[in-house]
A and B are shown apart, each in its own frame.
Chain A
């Protein structure tokens, strides 16, 4: 093919040759991604559905009837809805003032408030739950004990094993959803709207309520619905707080259906009811988000003037401190204290010991296995979800393949799948397959990857949108194949965005409990399951030690990843399309 002669004017350079036109690399990759998605999400969901209608007497809706009529299941459904509603409400009450303080006022110590929100989001909810049990279990909780025995203020005691307690612990994890969306919305509202109102004579406060609030309301509502969905999907806190309080929710009820002998059909039916609720909530949320289009992105020079709160800003700051104390300081301080005590309940200072750490790290041989498993799983799941998300996002944005929107939706389905439901679906599906995956790391990897594909897709999508397609096209016409273009142009350009997305998956993956709790085996046990397992069998002090180790590992992983990613970030050069 290479004529190569210098005397031939044109073409002096060989044209890149067409090879294997019938099996194009891009098509192979895209087909593989579609197949992955089908295996990860679509087929398990289908088998969940089949499992829910296949009764011993042929196909029927008997399981649904049972789920709807059984007192146990109806109560679980009601409890989940109550939990979600209260959590959503309180997420707004905490998230919105903080968001408003950050973006519109001169509240002091803004970085502190941001860190509080971030830490609350990153902190594993089941650890917070365990910590709160140590603090607020009705009689023995340290704070309750203090209030009752030392200060004699019985009315200030708090029973954590109640719906109130469950809402409290859950809100500490979900308010950042509202906070983050509200901050984004508040910052993207063009200040000229507010300035216009002020020119017309409206005061700052009046403007805040009559102009700003309606503009960001859709974002707040959308955050509330996300908080709702997340709160009812959290298994750990519902098991740790709900079970002793006998408050069964959909998650814990489904979990208990796997007691020996397991009731797969009923669990499937209940799972579908669960999906119906979450999907409905997310559907409404998307509608709100769509309405957000009138939040304008003002660009430069539209920075809003900050409201001078005067001394009231200290009140707001105090509120932020309170959130920090309740969400971060109290739980972790108490976990550390418990982890260092010989026997919680006996005088604390006389009983300091490191034996609990020694026990969980060296004697309890599950721990090391669990740490390794969790690290492997989180790393692989984050990488696979991002890879899959990237290919699907690319198909959606860069090709005209028919059905690509459908693919996009399929990849978003897991947003509406609570972890435990994902686990039920995977069990249903893989038990029917000839490959024995149950109890292996592979099935956990499938569950995690499936659960986090939407996050991967979102990261890839927003990154790809910032890259003009001509950057890829110019490589193609120069002779670069799809693969080379991806390697040389697309991936280097979207890498920072993908990396941020990777971290956003890695962090929840390393503390994943909701799906793992049904899928693990002694070999594939994960860190969160090990903590829960130890808690379940009731080892208060070693659990606290393991919890602290868990947090240390998460923090180290984030720090390390941030460091690696941060360096690359600095190398990156902003691409500004003309």
Chain B
């Protein structure tokens, strides 16, 4: 599943793929099932808006289970291994794991009606999984507490000792997005990079929401490798937070949604997965500060167009292989 995201992401803004055959959804059966269980790491407010909109449109209840991307995956894997089929639809932020699970035949291939509006790089060609949104992993700072001249401009800038005690980031054991970042940066810059961050007394929290909380409260003033949508949301509330797109590349990571094989509500699951890439649902993501998966939806207010952001290349196949080792090494450094 190795793909070169550098090229792919660049192509997002300009390509338009020919329409493919969409898979049918039996709405009558879905409504009869009446319920769909959704495991997701989508930011909770957005997740709830998606769920509510779907309920309003179809009358099918969405049972939401929300946690961090890695935590969701862990929960799902444990349940799956023990033969418990609770989840109908799962959205994580770990494309590497999704690819692996697709290979293992855990998902039901399904092409939603708007399948072709999602760029190839953010979906499986057979519809094993389709991105729900795109996550921008950036650096953001408290405008009021960091002088403009002191804004870090690249990933390596934050190792500067002047940022000591000011930094915060997430734990890859909990947050899948961070696993992509740490795997990539540790390969690119070496583990010394993280040892330097450790020397800079960087704070480790579980999830991206916590990162924003720390920055909002002023506990820490610079978020490193953090999800931009939370910063955007905080900005909307009036918090003075500024997003920085590192000069050496922003991580643009899709959040794949997949239907679980053998799940309790298979038709409702299809209806929901179908709805996830519909225009109405997709518009909720920019509204919450994030980027939609579809190319025909505008970026969030005051955020740059995808084409204007320099993407960081990510090797998902390598990450899938390295995941356990990366987490362990990270833990060893930050203990």
Contact = CB atoms under 8 A, between A and B. Distances in A.
Interface of A: 71-72, 75, 137-141, 161, 243-244, 246-248, 256, 258-262, 343-346, 363-366, 427, 430-431, 436-440, 521-523, 525, 533, 536-540
Given A260-B73, A537-B66, A244 B84 contact: no
Nearest to B219: A140
A140 B168 CA distance: 13
Contact of A262 (B77, B171, B331): B77
A261 B324 contact: yes
Contacts of A438: 78-79, 82-84
Which of B75, B82, B171 has the most chain A CB within a 10 Å cutoff? Answer: B82
A538 B206 contact: yes
B332 A363 contact: no
Contacts of A537: 44, 66-68, 206-207, 209-210
Nearest to A240: B206
Contact of A345 (B84, B216, B220): B216
B332 A522 contact: no
Contacts of A139: 217-220
B203 A244 contact: yes
13 contacts: A72-B332, A139-B218, A139-B220, A244-B206, A247-B335, A259-B70, A344-B213, A344-B216, A345-B216, A345-B218, A522-B63, A522-B87, A536-B67
B39 A522 contact: yes
Contacts of B66: 366, 533, 537
Contacts of A366: 64-66
Interface string B207-236: 111111110111110000000000000000
A31 B74 CA distance: 38
A353 B220 CA distance: 26
Interface string B64-98: 11111011011101110111101100000000010
Given A260-B77, A431-B82, A438-B84, A536 B335 contact: no
B81 A431 contact: yes
A259 B97 CA distance: 13
Contacts of A246: 204, 334-335
B271 interface: no
A258 B237 CA distance: 36
Chain A residues touching B, majority SS? loop
Contacts of A138: 219
Given A538-B208, A539-B44, A259 B65 contact: no
Interface of B: 37, 39, 44, 48, 63-68, 70-71, 73-75, 77-79, 81-84, 86-87, 97, 171, 173-174, 203-214, 216-220, 237-239, 323-324, 327-328, 331-332, 334-335
Contacts of B71: 536
B64 A365 contact: yes
A436 B84 CA distance: 6
Which of B75, B97, B218, B323 has the most chain A CB within a 10 Å cutoff? Answer: B75
A538 B74 contact: no
Nearest to A134: B217
A537 B205 CA distance: 9
Nearest to B94: A260
A345 to B, nearest CB: 4
A258 B216 CA distance: 31
Contacts of B218: 139-140, 345
A364 B44 CA distance: 9
Contacts of A427: 78, 82
A539 B208 CA distance: 10
A468 B331 CA distance: 58
Contact of B332 (A71, A343, A440, A538): A71
Contacts of A141: 219
Given A137-B219, A537-B67, A261 B86 contact: no
A256 B74 CA distance: 10
Nearest to B333: A246
Contacts of B37: 522-523
Contacts of A363: 48
Contacts of B173: 256, 259
Which 10 pairs show the lowest CB-CB distances between chains A and B?
Answer: A538-B209, A538-B210, A522-B65, A438-B82, A140-B217, A140-B219, A345-B217, A436-B83, A439-B84, A260-B74
B335 A521 contact: no
B226 to A, nearest CB: 11
Given A436-B82, A521-B75, A538-B208, 8 more contacts: A75-B335, A259-B70, A260-B70, A345-B239, A427-B78, A536-B207, A536-B210, A537-B209
Given A72-B331, A256-B173, A439 B65 contact: no
B166 to A, nearest CB: 9
Contacts of B323: 260-261
A268 to B, nearest CB: 15
B67 A533 contact: yes
A266 to B, nearest CB: 11
A366 B173 CA distance: 23
Which of A256, A437, A521 has the most chain B CB within a 10 Å cutoff? Answer: A521
A371 to B, nearest CB: 15
A256 B207 CA distance: 15
Nearest to B176: A260
A54 B208 CA distance: 37
Contact of B207 (A364, A440, A538): A538
Contact of A523 (B73, B86, B211, B212): B86
Contacts of A247: 335
Contact of B205 (A261, A345, A538): A538
Contacts of A75: 335
Contact of A521 (B70, B79, B204, B238): B79
Nearest to B84: A439
Contacts of B217: 137, 139-140, 344-345, 540
B213 A540 contact: yes
A515 to B, nearest CB: 14
Contacts of B77: 260-262
Contacts of A258: 74, 78
B171 A248 contact: no
Given A140-B217, A260-B97, A522-B65, A539 B209 contact: yes
B82 to A, nearest CB: 3
Contacts of A539: 44, 209, 213
Nearest to B64: A365
Contacts of A345: 216-218, 239
Nearest to B334: A246
A363 B73 CA distance: 24
Contacts of A365: 63-64
A139 B221 CA distance: 10
B88 to A, nearest CB: 11
A415 to B, nearest CB: 27
A521 B68 contact: no
Contacts of A343: 216, 237, 239
Contact of A439 (B82, B171, B174): B82
